[in-house]
Amino acid sequence: MRIYRMESYQEVSRRAANIIAAQITLKPDTVLGLATGSTPVGTYRQLIELNKQGDLDFSCVKTVNLDEYCGVPADHEQSYRYFMNHNLFNHINIDPANTNVPDGMAKDLQSECERYDKLISDFNGIDLQVLGIGHNGHIGFNEPDDCFEKTTHVVELKQSTIDANSRFFASVDNVPKRALTMGIQTIMAARKILLIASGADKRKILERALFGPITPQVPASVLQMHNDLTVVCCVD
């Protein structure tokens, strides 16, 4: 595990973007696992800048997002598909057909989960997975549980996650109660993982995740077992 402790959110974003850019430069057809949430927004802004300057080419990159709310259409402002289009994809030279987000509107959610896992394995897995961390230690939408869920699955969101994400919705009642998320096994199978965290409110959970016992009650703690984990954070 490599930990970069940065001085500011801006520095976190620059370092994280540089790591992603290095990956894409070395392997232009990288399969990039992406995350939503407020944390990676600055990283995506930096990637857009690098792309605009002509220093980073996304034309051969494929992306797979971690998760999506159930029952929120792609063109809804709070869907993760909308988030990704607006915070990254619409501003870089990526082929939209190469961007993938689970379909939370699928009629048969179970089949959608199976389709998503097959898509990732047809891509020969993920080269670099970007992760944020929730206050309860969730990664993607893998919530604290009695066991680690392996593959893409439907998850009932914890009240704490619904409350945390309510800042993006008109009211807490508008936050979806269910989501689709890649499982822990899929995330752990990524060849490299980049975890980014920012804000003093993430300090405790980041410490528990990186240095506490490995337990499904803190899903991010499983990352301690990964052999190529980079953490970029500013949590002081």
Counted residue by residue, the chain has a size of 236
Closest by CA position to 197, among listed 83, 63, 35, 30:
35
Catalytic residue among 67, 112, 117, 127: 67
Q: Look up 143 and say whether it is catalytic.
A: yes
Active site residue 11: no
Residue 136 annotated among the catalytic residues of the structure? yes
Name the segment binding ligand GLP (CB under 6 A); options: 32-40, 91-99, 110-118, 225-233: 32-40
Residue selected from 33, 102, 104, 134 as contacting ligand GLP according to rule CB under 6 A: 134
Respond yes or no: is residue 67 known to be catalytic.
Answer: yes
- 51, 100, 138, 153: the catalytic one is 138
From candidates 46, 79, 100, 165, binder to ligand GLP by CB under 6 A:
165
Site string for ligand GLP, 40-59 (x = CB under 6 A): --------------------
Q: Which lies closer to ligand GLP via its Cβ, residue 152 or residue 165? A: 165
Q: How many residues bind ligand GLP (CB under 6 A)?
A: 14
CA distance 73 to 90: 18
Residues 221-226: contacts with CB within 8 Å, 24+ apart? 221/137, 222/148, 222/184, 222/188, 223/1, 223/131, 223/139, 223/188, 223/193, 223/195, 224/1, 225/188, 226/1, 226/188, 226/193
User: What is the signed CA dihedral for 65, 185, 197, 3, rounded to 10 degrees?
Assistant: -130
At 135, the amino acid letter reads H
- Containing 3, the helix (H) or strand (E) segment is strand 2-5
Q: In this structure, what are the phi and psi dihedrals at residue 6, rounded to the nearest 5 degrees?
A: -105, 170
Least Cβ distance, residue 80 to ligand GLP (angstroms): 8
141 belongs to the binding site for ligand GLP (CB under 6 A): yes
Q: Which is nearer to ligand GLP, 67 or 103 (CB)?
A: 67
Q: What is d(CA 167, CA 25) in angstroms, rounded to the nearest whole number? A: 36
Work out how close the CB of 140 gets to ligand GLP at its nearest, in angstroms, rounded to a whole number: 5
Considering beta carbons, is residue 31 or 197 the nearer one to ligand GLP? Answer: 197
SS3 annotation, 47-79: HHHHHHCCCCCCCCCEEEECEEECCCCCCCCCC
Closer to ligand GLP at the Cβ: 98 or 165? Answer: 165
Site string for ligand GLP, 60-79 (x = CB under 6 A): ------xx------------
78 vs 93, beta carbon nearer ligand GLP: 78
Site residues, ligand GLP (CB under 6 A): 35-39, 66-67, 132-134, 140-141, 161, 165
